[in-house]
Amino acid sequence: MLDFVKGVFSELKKVNWLTKEELAKSSGFVAGFVAIFTFLIWVIDSGLGALAALLIGLK
């Protein structure tokens, strides 16, 4: 068990971790993409909902 834990820490030292700047940039990109995609899905959903309401005579 001790050899396994030593091996895990040895492998973790080999990992190429992101810098704080790279992490912030990547996180910002992901958050922006999610916000834009969420807005687009909302627009499409609202449009289709309005179209469905129009077709079945709710409005």
pLDDT tens profile 10-54:
999 999 999 999 999 999 999 999 999 999 999 999 999 999 999
Structural Rg of the chain based on CA atoms: 24
17-43 burial: b if 16+ Cβ within 10 Å, else e = eeeeeeeeeeeeeeeeeeeeeeeeeee
CA distances from 1 to 7, 12, 22 (A): 10, 17, 35
Predicted TM-score of the model (pTM): 0.65
